Amino acid sequence: MRALVIDDSRAMRSILTRQLQDLDFDVAQAFDGRDALDLLDTGYMPDVALVDWNMPRMDGLTFIKAVRTRDAMKDVSLMMVTTESEHGNIVRALAAGAHEYVIKPFTSEVIAEKLALLGLVRV
């Protein structure tokens, strides 16, 4: 299983990568939406992308919308990573085409559950 972690914080990327690796994912990282799009355009297809909301250059919402317009990427599950205070964002993300969302901070169990909902992890 392959995953893509998109967050402009290096520490965050490390944390999420670790959690995903513990679930046997191969993990790639991207700095923000622009970076991630560039990576996807090269043909790298993760099974799931964990997308942060607030990023420079291209934020999470814009990224989700962009991915959703590309037929080639229709099999990439998009999981929004957001915080409790961003309720409005959750709605917008889902409306724009995100498949799932997870509120941070989350434990490994929580992310495993979420990924199971997407059929990517056997619980």
C-alpha separations of 114 from 46, 62, 122 in Å: 16, 22, 11
Tokens of 55: 């990023």
Q: Which is nearer to other proteins, 73 or 94 (CB)?
A: 94
Residue closer to other proteins, measured from CB, 44 or 106: 106
Count of positions (residues) in the chain: 123
Q: Which residues bind other proteins (CB under 8 A)?
A: 8-12, 14-15, 18, 31, 54-57, 83-88, 90-92, 94-96, 104-106
* Nearest approach, Cβ of residue 113 and other proteins (Å): 10
Q: Residue 110 CB, nearest distance to other proteins (Å)?
A: 11
As given in the structure block, the two tokens for residue 97 are 């085409």
Residues 6+ apart with CB under 8 A from 116: 122, 123
Peptide bond into 105 cis (omega under 30): yes
Least separation in angstroms between CB 94 and other proteins: 7
Would you say 15 or 73 has its CB closer to other proteins? Answer: 15
